[in-house]
Copies of this chain bind each other. A is one copy, B any other.
């Protein structure tokens, strides 16, 4: 009875995520969209003209990551950043016409991939999978809160 299941769970998970990203990339490439842009597009399609800060509050990536992603999206002509009249530190992010026009094709690509990945699975399988993934995600969030805060001595005078 093997204790170590030959390939690590982490390895399989990473591989799965990378395969997913690659299939997505294959479908999005002709549109000039990268997988990292998806989250931004998703929220801006719902609510255009917000600041980076607001967008950041909606998305599960760090501020620096978002900043870099927005830079590439600007370079690729998907968003524009105009100064926020109310706060000179901030910029209002808006989608370009091109980005707006892309929505149906991007949605189609996502749907296509979803269908491909779901072949052979029941509705129940999918729900169950998402439920377990959500629960594991919560456990990981907790795990990181419980992080070793240590080094709290040495605060001396």
Contacts and interface: CB of A to CB of B under 8 A. Distances in A.
Contacts of A121: 132, 135-136
A11 interface: yes
A100 interface: no
Contacts of A39: 8, 11
B136 A132 contact: no
B8 A14 contact: no
A125 B130 contact: no
A94 to B, nearest CB: 21
B11 A60 contact: yes
Contacts of A26: 144, 147-148
Given A117-B139, A120-B139, A121-B135, A144 B23 contact: yes
A68 interface: no
Interface of A: 7-17, 19-24, 26, 35, 38-39, 42, 60, 110, 113-114, 116-121, 125, 128-130, 132-137, 139-144, 147-148
